[in-house]
A and B are shown apart, each in its own frame.
Chain A
Amino acid sequence: MEIRSKEFKERAVFAIHDASLQQALGKARGGFVGKRAQQAAELPEFEQLREEAKNTKNHILDNLDHYLERYEAAVTAAGGHVHWARDAEEARKIILDICKRVDAKTVTKGKSMVSEEIGLNEALIEHGMEVVETDLGEYIIQLAHEPPSHIIAPAVHKTKDQVSDLFEAAHGGPRKTEVADLVNEARRVLRDKYFRADVGITGGNFLVAETGSSIIVTNEGNGDLTQTLAKVHIVTSGIERVVPTLDDATLFLRLLARSATGQETETYTTISTGPRRAEDLDGPEEYHVVLVDNGRSKMLGGRFKDMLRCIRCGACMNHCPVYGAVGGHAYGWVYPGPMGSVLTPLIKGLDNAYDLPNACTLNGRCASVCPVKIPLPDLLRELRHMQHQQDITPVMQRRALKVWRYVATRPKLYHALEQVGARFLSAIAKNGSIRRLPLASGWTDVRDLPAPAGRTFLELWQGKRGQK
């Protein structure tokens, strides 16, 4: 997927004025936030689990090579294959090669953010394969030729009416308007694809080192059909998704469902280990795991290591007021919201995504709900620091900071300027506020500027108490 994060501002403004997007976002926000809060409140050890999850992840990241090696050995022992991909291109090539070798015509896909990250669909289609997204949300946006706008609810920006239109156009009507009818229609269309699929590709929420298993969670069961009915099952996953044991996986599963959708557990939790064995009733003939690095090992050694704890639950975006205002597409790449604002500049380059770390009030709500306690605002600030150091920050801002520093480290000068400012603003104010201030139009375009009283506190105080 091509990165369009440089257009963040324009896309954000566009989104704010898109009435149906705003309607869809408003609905989703209330649901996710309320349900998560309820789940967190109902589980007395929830906060303790977050702490445990953070510590476990830190331990894994400190020993990542060890666990990955163990995982690879276990996958191989179970008859599967592990492939290592340094970047998106390598990952695409590995998967394409497998698909070509088995002469794949139809490829079904369970939801996988890594496959979006590596731009897999485009590559498969380019090579003449039919790619079918089987997650309902992903299916909808595939029909709309749009990228996902949320990592767990990819079509969250679509209203029901828009889905009705898309389905009517794709399936030939009659137009359905009830959710149940729409779902049934999708089910009917997709069922046929599952049986025709040569290759099924899924993500991997967790990779278990002790057993060599991959775990996926879905609410639709589409992942199961994708991975068991095709001849070949390919798992795409980031290298950071490995966990030591099945026990550890349960810790994260408990947090994932509650944080993501506010469920105690997702409807389907599916564990697959290797290809079909002689005694199995079904399952794929081949089982492959493509482990994607794509910038992750670089993060491992630096100040953004915390970000690798992410379990892709989406809670940060559900609670982000900026995401809530602009939706996921404004962010311009695969990962939106707070986690995306950290990941995108790191994977795609700081200067390709200047706005993402900056378009944040650092209000901290994301970090307060993150199940693995990633200090997202601190990481965003750290990215601003890197932008500042690398001269990516706009010249005007750099100059302003220099002037500010010069003045603010000279108290007498600073106070003199504050006094001038207070008098000036007070003089041009009407009825307690200022409507238009050309030099501060960013402020006055959307709200009045409250007027100062005329004299500063320090001035008045010295007049009153004469203190030093």
Chain B
Amino acid sequence: MTESPTRGPRVGLFATCLMNVFRPNVGFSAVKLLEDAGCTVEVPANQTCCGQPGYNSGDYDAARALARQVIETFENYDYIVGPSGSCMATIRHDYPVLFHDDPVWLPRAQELSEKAWELLSFLTDVLGATASDAHYDGSVTYHDSCSGLRGLGIKGQPRTLLGEVDGLKLKEMEDSEVCCGFGGTFCVKYPEISEKMVEDKVRNILATGADTVVGGDLGCLMNIAGRLKRINAPVKVFHTSEVLAGLADGPGLAGAAKESD
């Protein structure tokens, strides 16, 4: 809205469902990081879900209906960026597959696919941003979310950015690349298996001795945070963007507010 002499890209922020309901702070962190890196950020009101729940449940028609809505809403931006490897992998990889035999929507899906970025990799790979003026007091371990890691090749980017944060000590956990057991509806359909998986994940987190765990997908983070809380483990859970934006000063996910709410 403020005109700058060298106008950066116009970015449509994809406000993921989980972020919108459970963690608005991640949205504000994303906006701050993008604006600090020179982008003009808008949050179109006509957005809902990327459609992945339908797609992964085998309801391709429903997924296509949602995909068309996302395409219409975001295709006029330079980029569509979201703080989730999972949703953004859906837009980048699955939309073109969903419309593979649709001559009208395929080109539009492909065009959006090329402009779709997960937040942190967008900051590093497209904008060349750094996290040099961020500060965080604590030791942090990073969980590689599966869709970000294997779907979008996100591995080094968040670690590089976290490594630049003043005061932050990065501690790698064992099996950081192994699924935490969230898996969308999987975690409620197969709770016992999910429990075993998140138990393994939490054990590896605790073994690092880190006081904070971060990651790029709220689904995994809610699963991990919920489990840590259940076993009364005092490890804070934040989305990576909150730490990078300097907005990780409040309670983490499932964390109780200290003074007021």
Residues of A within 8 A of B (CB): 9, 12-13, 16, 321-322, 325-326, 358-365, 367-368, 381, 383-389, 393, 397, 401, 404-405, 408-409, 411, 414-415, 418, 421-422, 425, 431-433, 440, 442-443, 445-458, 460-462, 465, 467-468
Number of chain B residues whose Cβ lies closer than 8 Å to a Cβ of chain A: 74
Hey, which chain A residues are within 8 Å of B255, CB to CB?
432
Hey, which chain B residues are within 8 Å of A453, CB to CB?
22-25
Supply 15 further A-B pairs (C-beta < 8 A) apart from A16-B196, A432-B257. Answer: A12-B190, A360-B183, A364-B150, A405-B66, A409-B66, A414-B48, A415-B48, A433-B225, A443-B191, A446-B191, A447-B227, A451-B22, A457-B24, A458-B20, A468-B45
Q: How far is the CA of A176 from the CA of B241 in the complex (A)?
A: 57
Q: How far is the CB of A284 from chain B (nearest CB, A)?
A: 46
Asked if residues B54 and A361 are in contact (CB atoms below 8 Å), the reply is no
Q: How far is the CA of A458 from the CA of B42 in the complex (A)?
A: 11
B223 is an interface residue with CB less than 8 A from chain A: yes
**A445, A452, A454, A461: most-surrounded residue (chain B CB, <10 A):** A461
Residue of A388, A415, A452 touching B22 (CB-CB under 8 A) = A452
B15 is an interface residue with CB less than 8 A from chain A: yes
Q: How far is the CB of B220 from chain A (nearest CB, A)?
A: 10
B122 is an interface residue with CB less than 8 A from chain A: no
Hey, which chain A residues are within 8 Å of B60, CB to CB?
385, 388
Hey, which chain B residues are within 8 Å of A322, CB to CB?
193, 197
Residue of A326, A363, A368, A384 touching B58 (CB-CB under 8 A) = A384
Residue of A405, A446, A457 touching B62 (CB-CB under 8 A) = A405
Hey, which chain B residues are within 8 Å of A451, CB to CB?
22, 254
B4 is an interface residue with CB less than 8 A from chain A: no
Asked if residues A449 and B226 are in contact (CB atoms below 8 Å), the reply is yes
Hey, which chain A residues are within 8 Å of B247, CB to CB?
none
Q: How far is the CB of B150 from chain A (nearest CB, A)?
A: 4
Residues of B within 8 A of A (CB): 1, 15, 17, 19-28, 42-49, 51, 53-60, 62, 65-66, 69, 146-147, 150-151, 177-179, 181-184, 186-198, 200, 222-223, 225-227, 229-230, 237, 251, 253-257, 261
> Which residue of chain A has the shortest Cβ distance to B253 in the bound complex?
A450
Q: How far is the CA of A455 from the CA of B19 in the complex (A)?
A: 11
Hey, which chain B residues are within 8 Å of A418, CB to CB?
17, 20-21
Q: How far is the CA of A468 from the CA of B198 in the complex (A)?
A: 39
Hey, which chain A residues are within 8 Å of B21, CB to CB?
418, 421-422, 425, 452, 456
Asked if residues A462 and B45 are in contact (CB atoms below 8 Å), the reply is yes
Q: How far is the CB of A355 from chain B (nearest CB, A)?
A: 8
Residue of A362, A368, A457 touching B19 (CB-CB under 8 A) = A457
Q: How far is the CB of B1 from chain A (nearest CB, A)?
A: 8
Residue of B59, B69, B150 touching A401 (CB-CB under 8 A) = B59
Asked if residues A442 and B191 are in contact (CB atoms below 8 Å), the reply is yes
Hey, which chain B residues are within 8 Å of A460, CB to CB?
24, 27-28
Q: How far is the CB of A395 from chain B (nearest CB, A)?
A: 13
Q: List 8 A-B contacts (CB under 8 A).
A: A361-B179, A388-B58, A415-B45, A432-B251, A446-B192, A446-B195, A447-B230, A467-B45
Asked if residues A450 and B226 are in contact (CB atoms below 8 Å), the reply is yes
Asked if residues B190 and A9 are in contact (CB atoms below 8 Å), the reply is yes
Q: How far is the CA of A465 from the CA of B192 in the complex (A)?
A: 44
In order of increasing CB-CB distance, the 6 nearest A-B pairs are A361-B183, A442-B188, A384-B58, A447-B226, A388-B58, A457-B24
Q: How far is the CA of A399 from the CA of B19 in the complex (A)?
A: 25
Our count of residue pairs bridging A and B at CB distance below 8 angstroms stands at 209
**A433, A440, A447: most-surrounded residue (chain B CB, <10 A):** A447
> Which residue of chain B has the shortest Cβ distance to A355 in the bound complex?
B190
Q: How far is the CA of A421 from the CA of B182 in the complex (A)?
A: 21
Given A432-B257, A442-B191, A450-B22, the answer on whether A321 and B229 have CB atoms closer than 8 Å is: no
Q: How far is the CB of B32 from chain A (nearest CB, A)?
A: 12
Asked if residues A321 and B178 are in contact (CB atoms below 8 Å), the reply is yes
Q: How far is the CB of B102 from chain A (nearest CB, A)?
A: 16
Residue of B46, B183, B198, B226 touching A433 (CB-CB under 8 A) = B226
Q: How far is the CB of A450 from chain B (nearest CB, A)?
A: 4
Asked if residues B48 and A360 are in contact (CB atoms below 8 Å), the reply is no
Asked if residues A408 and B66 are in contact (CB atoms below 8 Å), the reply is yes
Hey, which chain A residues are within 8 Å of B26, CB to CB?
457
Asked if residues B230 and A446 are in contact (CB atoms below 8 Å), the reply is yes
Hey, which chain A residues are within 8 Å of B179, CB to CB?
321, 361, 363, 365
Q: How far is the CA of A281 from the CA of B33 in the complex (A)?
A: 76
Q: How far is the CA of A387 from the CA of B192 in the complex (A)?
A: 23
Given A365-B177, A457-B19, A461-B27, the answer on whether A442 and B146 have CB atoms closer than 8 Å is: no
Q: How far is the CB of A1 from chain B (nearest CB, A)?
A: 23
Q: How far is the CB of B147 from chain A (nearest CB, A)?
A: 8
Residue of B42, B146, B183, B222 touching A365 (CB-CB under 8 A) = B146
Hey, which chain A residues are within 8 Å of B200, CB to CB?
321
